[in-house]
């Protein structure tokens, strides 16, 4: 336990650290005014929230406060918890439960409820919040919030639902499969009919039932693996149950005699009917399919959302001195010192652990009047009473409770040997985006708001990027206008009064986040549960792709459509029209018109409202409608891409996305601003439109490296960030994804690159020491069982997973044989010369008339030196054409132009440098043992220890004819500033910065360079393995690349301290064998296990790169995925390449045609990006004509979005400043002066400039 510091200790000596929360800043000055101690609780029984007990408690406390005491140093005995023997949890009602080996916490609780007779059979109004599966009962169960008693009631399925999957084989065929019929988890077959959307016909299929969900699709042998081509076998059982029973979490149900039925839950029936009619009228002229869907789904948005009783809680733990990391909740070694609770029923209480050496005194000046503190002498009692309180509340809110608070309490209770039947918490393996574990409650509902707010769709679309990072402090400041308590001392060193307020404030903020703006966040959570048809425990933890997947799966099941397999869609509709233009299976991205730089006036921006959702609806894009099987639809071609689309029916993507888009844009968005409605109704409409926006609207840091091939077929390794402005026309290294050639290296087109800011990222370290950095949402291919690739988010990877590494790195087949020196070195004070004897080959006198351009150049620009008999000129004084002329005349040695730095002493060097094999040997020695002096290169090698190596370096220099000296001891010096600059250009300088010029290497050069580098900086490990050593991270990466290019394998030993060195060890590589398949050949690509994953909180610029085949090779050969939208992501289960191609193709077509139309009307287009065009001073009449034309010709709404009275465009996209017409509002995009690292004086000048512009 940390010792209490002296009162005399200065405040500035204390450190600021937050151990279990996310935000902290400096503490404001404390008021010197002291308040009387208050809210100290003495009770025989745990206080509950009733007014009578609260009044009695406060009266006792007031009596105590009247005692005249100047200072309290210890917590008075009467303020401690005195014990509570009343049983709770599974110990209530004296029900004995037999022990079942390996029984889960939830299974035991359900057995308890069954024995107690409390599985609900009748319920008038139950608010459905959660649905899950229990293995003990082998049934689904639902958690309802009783709107009358305000308690959670649990109902177990009474419909005899069973786990199943679907096969297209007949029952007779399946009965002949003895592996299936003899499988112990198999139950029976049933023939049913399903509609196959891909083939547009009803088919007979076989339903194959299993005993349990794991018998259908668990690990090891199961029905899915036996069948090989099962349909609907990868859907989690509780979601399958929701689909089949048409349940909608977030709506209100009645339970009668064990059967559930949905009921209407409306605040005002007349208002409900009015809005329902208005919404249905939106679709009266639409296809009948979307009309039916609208009719069936309007209730999701119009049914009132009930308020629920809920409690927020937060814990603080003790720490040892000099410990600053968040404790591991699974170990739970430190004691819990404080737990706070704040509830919607008015409860505000802190449970505080007594600790030696801590002073009791006045409450903090901001500690609420109606809050209480209860002290405990025993941590075990503190946790036990915490559990008692948690059992009482139906909904528990936390901020990061999955990863810390509830997780820690669960494991700490086990460590303290608290009876498991008292513990309300269930800890399960995490499936969500950020949760390493899922912490649920046996009885109640746990909502971790951190997971919800962390969701990019929520932060970006629902809240418009209002908060910049995902800490409680940042989110509260942005949405509530309040921050956490700001402190200087470490949390575990706080006095009781400070700690109680710090702890309580976190719970207050957590609860308020669910309550502000008429419970906006709670309403948003429930609306998303309704729309996605996901139970609350899944919805708050999963991302947008899972939400959308669930919407479509649910609709398939309601319409009795067969849910297709992703492979099936790809086989029937491979797409790839863009192959001819972008060489791969990718698709083109958004269309961008380069900005017209300069200052423009009266610029109007016209915008396609919700462009891609509108395209999907208006052009009927869906996996079953694009390239449909109907012969009569083949002439119904899409605009901008040669695919046809179905004219027989509306596609499932089209009517679902179209419905959501239209009710948001045409109804709820305008209604959210309708002043004739009440504020509460406007807020609710705003919540709905924010929720829908989430549905109708990944990354690597700058220093990550990629392999690029240019148009001239030259291969080079560059920083990803260096591609930002010049990625077009380049190919990037990827691997073959087809099974026959899987893993073989190939170059594919880069088809897009975007940038954004990230607040944090992951550093993934592999077992062989390789590392890659990426954001947690970046997709990385993960290999399972050496046979299956799953593309998952980096944030969902875990230690022990295997990802793909490409080894056979490409080198240039025809690297340059010589280089023109001035193109590679700084040219400041660089002189170029030609000897008199060379000049005389063409002319004798400088005044002699000639048509030879090189002689004319020398006569006009060069000056002659009689001493050295040369013509010379400063290189930078020549025009570009004149420089090209010298290069052209010298390349074939027709004229011997030479260069050197400075006009005086020094040796001239021919302007072309021959890249002989000896040159690369010398580079190897320089990288290993070289350094840079003022005017020369030094290579160190002790002659006494290594005479052969010393003499070998000298022989290299003699063959190269470079000017050099040596001292016969250890120093060999190359005396040339030009060569010095070249070596720096190719290999850098300084031990920590060295690199290898991969762009100059072919196989032979690379092998020779590496051999010479080994002689200088290599050795043998255990007399067997070649090992290289370096301080340079870049050189480490280059060595890994080079070893792979030379058909080798290696591992990396990373330094433990910044001053240590990297060790790169050549190995034989790992041989991969698969049972029954023998040796597996991945064509130069191997799986490597993840050793460590570290989250780094630091703001960086990251890059989303899109390639033709969806994958590319990042630093150290690690294979990573593109960043796509949901429908365009190959990870999406219903991914259809022609749909993705059609969406972006039509988008490009539309904006191109709009530009043509505008220019045909005499309107100049200044800039265009994705879904908007910037028009130069158009008239109202022209704008109206363009809008009418767009609706008629493109079937898209093109509207005036904004008008600038003044707009300054740069050459870069998304980089401009403008002032709106008839206002002083300044609109800035991407300008340097907005960035945080911009100096204040520049910001000030920029601000003053803006004021002038206004």
- 567-599: burial string, b at 16+ Cβ within 10 Å, e else: eebeeebebbbbeeebbbbbbbbbbebebeeee
CATH classification at residue 1203: 3.90.1600.10
Among the ranges given (95-99, 565-569, 1002-1006, 1245-1249), the one the predictor scored with the smallest mean pLDDT: 1245-1249
Q: Which of 862, 879, 910 is the last residue of a domain?
A: 910
Q: What pLDDT is attached to residue 290? A: 93
State how far the alpha carbon of 1183 is from the alpha carbons of 167, 176, 434, 913, 1196, in Å: 56, 69, 47, 61, 15
Whether 1055 and 931 map to the same domain: the answer is yes
Whether 719 and 746 map to the same domain: the answer is yes
Residue-wise pLDDT for 321-360, tens only, equals 666 677 889 999 999 999 999 999 999 999 999 998 888 8
The stretch 1247-1253 carries a mean pLDDT of 69
Phi, psi angle pair for 150, to nearest 5°: 60, 40
pLDDT at 731 over 70: yes
CATH classification at residue 1040: 3.10.28.10
Among the ranges given (111-120, 424-433, 1141-1150), the one the predictor scored with the smallest mean pLDDT: 424-433
Top pLDDT among 113 and 1020 is at 113
The stretch 1140-1144 carries a mean pLDDT of 80
State how far the alpha carbon of 133 is from the alpha carbons of 216, 220, 530, in Å: 14, 20, 19
Provide the residue range defining the domain that includes 16: 11-83+309-319+332-448+470-499
Query: 57-61, 646-650, 1029-1033, 1126-1130: which has the highest mean pLDDT?
Result: 646-650
pLDDT at 1090 over 50: yes
Residue 197 lies in a domain: no
- 626-644: burial string, b at 16+ Cβ within 10 Å, e else: bbbeeeebeebebbbbebb
Whether 346 and 419 map to the same domain: the answer is yes
Among 1155, 1250, 1216, 1098, residue whose Cα is nearest residue 606:
1155
Whether 1056 and 925 map to the same domain: the answer is yes
Residue 588 lies in a domain: yes
pLDDT at 180 over 60: yes
Q: What pLDDT is attached to residue 1048? A: 85
Whether 770 and 803 map to the same domain: the answer is yes
Q: What pLDDT is attached to residue 431? A: 58
8 A C-beta contact, residue 763 and residue 1096: yes
Residue-wise pLDDT for 735-745, tens only, equals 887 656 778 88
Q: Are strands 592-593 and 1164-1169 parallel, antiparallel or unpaired?
A: antiparallel
Residue with tokens 């950095």: 773
8 A C-beta contact, residue 646 and residue 683: no
The stretch 131-135 carries a mean pLDDT of 95
HSE-CB at 87 with a 13 A cutoff on CA atoms is 8
Query: 26-30, 486-490, 493-497: which has the highest mean pLDDT?
Result: 493-497
Residue 286 lies in a domain: no
State how far the alpha carbon of 804 is from the alpha carbons of 358, 453, 737, 766, 1036, in Å: 54, 32, 12, 10, 19
pLDDT at 678 over 90: no
Residue-wise pLDDT for 1212-1241, tens only, equals 777 788 888 877 677 777 665 545 556 777
CATH classification at residue 34: 3.30.420.10
pLDDT at 797 over 50: yes
State how far the alpha carbon of 1186 is from the alpha carbons of 802, 1062, 1195, 1221, in Å: 54, 62, 12, 21
DSSP per-residue codes, 650-698? --HHHHHHHHHHHHIIIIIHHHTT-TTS-HHHHHHHHHHHHHHHHHH--
8 A C-beta contact, residue 161 and residue 244: yes
Q: What pLDDT is attached to residue 747? A: 86
Residue 879 lies in a domain: yes
Residue ranges of alpha helices (H) inside 310-455 are 379-392, 406-415, 449-454
The stretch 4-8 carries a mean pLDDT of 39
Is residue 865 very low, low, confident or very high in pLDDT (cuts 50, 70, 90)? confident
Among the ranges given (63-72, 222-231, 723-732), the one the predictor scored with the smallest mean pLDDT: 63-72
What sign has the CA pseudo-torsion 85, 91, 95, 100? negative
Cα 269 to chain centroid, rounded: 43
Rounded to an integer, what distance in angstroms lies between the CA atom of residue 553 and that of residue 1154? 37
pTM of this prediction? 0.65
1090 strand-pairing partners: 766
Residue 646 lies in a domain: yes
Q: Name the percent of the chain in helix, strand, coil, to the closest 5.
A: 35, 25, 40
Q: What pLDDT is attached to residue 43? A: 34
Whether 832 and 847 map to the same domain: the answer is yes
Residue 627 lies in a domain: yes
pLDDT at 527 over 90: yes
Rounded to an integer, what distance in angstroms lies between the CA atom of residue 977 and that of residue 933? 10
Q: What pLDDT is attached to residue 46? A: 39
Among 608, 593, 594, 599, residue whose Cα is nearest residue 1176:
599
Q: Are strands 1025-1030 and 745-766 parallel, antiparallel or unpaired?
A: unpaired
> 3-state class of 130 per DSSP?
strand
pLDDT at 1150 over 90: no
Whether 1219 and 1189 map to the same domain: the answer is yes
DSSP state at residue 1158? H
Average pLDDT across the chain, whole number: 83
Whether 1090 and 1044 map to the same domain: the answer is no
Q: What pLDDT is attached to residue 1021? A: 66
Q: What pLDDT is attached to residue 919? A: 95
Count how many domains the chain has. 6
8 A C-beta contact, residue 434 and residue 440: no
Whether 388 and 488 map to the same domain: the answer is yes
Q: Which two tokens stand for residue 619?
A: 């052009």
Residue-wise pLDDT for 928-987, tens only, equals 999 998 888 999 998 888 899 999 999 999 999 999 999 888 899 999 999 999 999 999
Q: What pLDDT is attached to residue 399? A: 95
pLDDT at 487 over 50: yes
Top pLDDT among 836 and 433 is at 836
Is residue 587 very low, low, confident or very high in pLDDT (cuts 50, 70, 90)? very low
Q: What pLDDT is attached to residue 669? A: 84
Top pLDDT among 472 and 1127 is at 472
**Cβ count within 10 A of residue 116:** 12
8 A C-beta contact, residue 1197 and residue 609: yes
Residue-wise pLDDT for 1047-1056, tens only, equals 888 888 888 7
Whether 46 and 66 map to the same domain: the answer is yes
Whether 634 and 493 map to the same domain: the answer is no
8 A C-beta contact, residue 644 and residue 637: yes
8 A C-beta contact, residue 47 and residue 374: yes
Rounded to an integer, what distance in angstroms lies between the CA atom of residue 981 and that of residue 564? 61
pLDDT at 475 over 80: yes
Residue 701 lies in a domain: no
Residue ranges of alpha helices (H) inside 1018-1170 are 1033-1045, 1137-1160
HSE-CB at 789 with a 13 A cutoff on CA atoms is 21
Q: What pLDDT is attached to residue 913? A: 93
The stretch 821-844 carries a mean pLDDT of 87
CATH classification at residue 789: 2.170.16.10
For 290-423, list the strands marked E by DSSP: 310-317, 336-343, 348-353, 372-376, 395-398
Residue 531 lies in a domain: no
Whether 402 and 360 map to the same domain: the answer is yes
Q: Which two tokens stand for residue 509?
A: 């903020």
Q: What pLDDT is attached to residue 634? A: 93
Q: What pLDDT is attached to residue 32? A: 35
């Amino acid at each position: 336990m940390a010792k209490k510091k002296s009162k005399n200790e200065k405040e500035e000596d204390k450190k600021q650290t937050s151990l279990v929360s996310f935000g902290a800043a400096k503490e404001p000055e404390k008021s010197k005014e002291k308040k009387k101690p208050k809210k100290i609780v003495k009770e025989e029984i745990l206080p509950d929230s009733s007014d009578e007990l609260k009044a009695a408690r406060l009266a006792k406390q007031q009596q105590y406060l009247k005692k005249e005491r100047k200072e309290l140093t210890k917590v008075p005995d009467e303020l401690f918890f005195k014990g509570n023997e009343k049983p709770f949890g599974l110990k209530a009602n004296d029900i004995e439960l037999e022990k079942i080996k390996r029984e889960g916490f939830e299974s035991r609780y359900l057995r308890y409820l069954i024995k107690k007779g409390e599985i609900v059979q009748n319920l008038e109004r139950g608010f459905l919040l959660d649905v899950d599966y229990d293995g003990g009962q082998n049934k689904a169960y639902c958690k309802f919030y009783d709107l009358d008693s305000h308690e959670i009631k649990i109902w177990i399925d009474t419909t005899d639902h069973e786990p199943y999957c679907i096969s297209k084989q007949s029952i007779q065929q399946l009965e002949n499969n003895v592996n299936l019929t003899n499988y112990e988890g198999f139950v029976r077959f049933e023939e049913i009919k399903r509609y196959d959307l891909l083939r547009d016909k009803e088919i007979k299929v076989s339903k194959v039932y299993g005993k349990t969900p794991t018998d259908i699709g668990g690990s090891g042998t199961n029905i899915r693996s036996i069948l090989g081509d099962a349909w609907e076998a990868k859907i989690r059982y509780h979601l399958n149950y929701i689909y089949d029973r048409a349940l909608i979490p977030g709506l209100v149900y009645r339970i009668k005699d064990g059967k559930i039925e949905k009921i209407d839950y409306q605040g005002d029936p007349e208002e409900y009917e009015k809005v329902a009619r208005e919404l249905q009228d939106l679709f009266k002229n639409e296809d009948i399919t979307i009309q039916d869907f609208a009719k069936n789904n309007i209730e999701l948005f119009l049914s009132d959302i009930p308020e629920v009783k809920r409690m927020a809680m937060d814990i603080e733990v003790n720490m040892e001195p000099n410990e600053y990391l968040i404790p591991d909740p699974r170990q739970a070694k430190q004691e819990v010192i404080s737990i706070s609770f704040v509830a919607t029923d008015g409860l505000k209480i802190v449970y505080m652990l007594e600790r030696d050496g801590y002073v009791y005194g006045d409450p903090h000046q901001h500690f609420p009047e109606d809050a209480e503190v209860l002290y405990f002498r025993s941590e075990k009692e503190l946790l036990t009473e915490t559990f008692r309180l948690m059992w009482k509340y139906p909904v528990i809110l936390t901020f990061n409770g999955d990863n810390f608070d509830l997780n820690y309490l669960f494991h700490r209770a086990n460590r303290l040997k608290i009876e498991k039947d008292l513990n309300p918490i269930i800890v399960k393996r995490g499936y969500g985006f950020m949760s390493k574990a899922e912490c649920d409650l046996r009885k109640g509902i746990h909502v971790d708001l951190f997971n919800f707010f962390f969701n990019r769709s929520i932060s970006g679309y629902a809240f418009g990027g209002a908060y910049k990072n995902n800490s409680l402090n940042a989110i509260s400041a942005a949405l509530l206008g309040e921050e956490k308590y700001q402190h200087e001392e470490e949390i575990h060193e706080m006095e009781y009064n400070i700690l109680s307020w710090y702890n309580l404030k976190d719970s207050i903020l957590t609860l308020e986040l669910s309550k502000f703006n008429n419970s906006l966040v709670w309403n948003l959570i429930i609306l998303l549960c309704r729309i996605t048809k996901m139970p609350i425990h899944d919805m708050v933890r999963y991302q947008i792709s899972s939400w959308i997947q669930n919407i479509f799966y649910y609709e398939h099941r309601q319409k009795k459509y067969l849910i297709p397999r992703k492979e099936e869609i790809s086989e029937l509709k491979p797409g790839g029209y863009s192959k001819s233009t972008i060489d791969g299976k990718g698709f083109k991205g958004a269309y961008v018109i380069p900005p017209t730089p300069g200052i423009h006036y009266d610029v109007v921006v016209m915008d396609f409202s919700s462009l891609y959702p509108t395209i999907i609806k208006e052009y009927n894009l869906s996996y079953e409608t694009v390239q449909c099987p109907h012969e009569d639809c083949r002439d119904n071609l899409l605009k901008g891409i040669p695919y046809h689309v179905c004219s027989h029916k509306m596609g499932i993507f089209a009517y679902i996305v179209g419905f959501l888009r239209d009710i948001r844009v045409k109804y709820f968005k305008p209604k959210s601003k309708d002043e004739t409605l009440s504020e509460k109704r406007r807020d609710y409409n705003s919540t709905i439109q924010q929720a829908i926006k989430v549905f109708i609207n990944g990354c690597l840091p700058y220093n990550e490296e990629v392999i690029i091939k240019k148009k001239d077929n030259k291969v080079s390794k560059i920083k990803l960030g260096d591609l930002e402005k010049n990625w077009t026309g380049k190919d990037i290294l990827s691997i073959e994804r087809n099974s026959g050639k899987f893993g073989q290296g190939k170059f594919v087109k880069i088809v897009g690159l975007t940038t954004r800011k990230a607040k944090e990222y992951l550093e993934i370290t592999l077992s062989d020491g390789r590392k890659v950095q990426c954001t947690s949402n970046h997709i990385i291919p993960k290999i399972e069982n050496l046979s299956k690739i799953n593309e998952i988010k980096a944030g969902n990877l875990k230690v022990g997973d295997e990802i793909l590494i490409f080894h056979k790195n490409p080198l240039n087949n025809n690297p340059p044989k010589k280089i023109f020196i001035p193109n590679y070195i700084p040219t400041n004070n660089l002189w170029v010369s030609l000897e008199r004897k060379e000049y005389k080959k063409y002319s004798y006198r400088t005044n002699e008339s000639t048509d030879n351009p090189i002689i004319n150049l020398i006569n006009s620009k060069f000056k002659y030196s009689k001493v050295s008999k040369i013509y010379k000129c400063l290189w930078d004084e020549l025009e570009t054409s004149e420089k090209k002329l010298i290069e052209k005349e010298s390349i074939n040695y027709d004229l011997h132009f030479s260069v050197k730095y400075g006009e005086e002493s020094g040796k001239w060097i021919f302007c072309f440098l021959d890249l002989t094999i000896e040159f690369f040997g010398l580079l190897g020695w320089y990288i290993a043992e070289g350094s840079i002096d003022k005017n020369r290169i030094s290579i160190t090698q002790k002659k006494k220890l290594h005479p052969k190596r010393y003499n070998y370096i000298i022989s290299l220099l003699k063959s190269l004819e470079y000017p050099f000296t040596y001292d016969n001891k250890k120093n060999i010096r190359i005396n040339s500033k030009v060569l010095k600059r070249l070596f720096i250009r190719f290999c850098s300088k300084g031990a920590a910065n060295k690199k290898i010029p991969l762009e100059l290497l072919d196989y032979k050069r690379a092998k020779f360079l590496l051999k010479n580098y080994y002689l200088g900086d290599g050795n043998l490990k255990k007399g067997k393995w070649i090992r290289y050593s370096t301080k340079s991270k870049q050189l480490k990466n280059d060595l890994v690349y080079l070893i792979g290019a030379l058909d080798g394998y290696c591992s990396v030993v990373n330094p433990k301290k910044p001053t240590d060195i990297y060790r790169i060890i050549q190995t034989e590589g790992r041989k991969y064998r698969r049972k029954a398949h023998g040796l597996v050949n991945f064509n130069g690509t191997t799986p490597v296990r993840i050793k460590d994953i570290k989250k780094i909180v630091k703001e960086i610029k990251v890059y989303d790169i899109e390639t033709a085949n969806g994958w590319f090779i990042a630093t150290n050969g690690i294979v990573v995925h593109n960043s796509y939208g949901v429908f365009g992501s190959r990870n999406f289960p219903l991914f259809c390449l022609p749909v993705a191609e059609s969406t972006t193709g039509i988008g490009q077509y539309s904006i191109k045609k709009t530009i043509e139309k505008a220019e045909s009307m005499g309107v100049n287009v200044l800039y265009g990006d994705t879904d908007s065009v910037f028009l130069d001073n158009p008239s109202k009449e022209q704008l109206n004509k363009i809008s009418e034309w767009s609706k008629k010709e493109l079937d898209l709404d093109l509207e005036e979005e904004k008008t600038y009275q003044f707009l300054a465009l740069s050459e870069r996209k998304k980089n401009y400043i403008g002032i709106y017409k008839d206002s002083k509002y300044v609109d800035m995009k991407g300008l340097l002066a907005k960035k945080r690292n911009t100096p204040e004086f520049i910001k000030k000048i920029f601000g003053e400039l803006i004021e002038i512009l206004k």
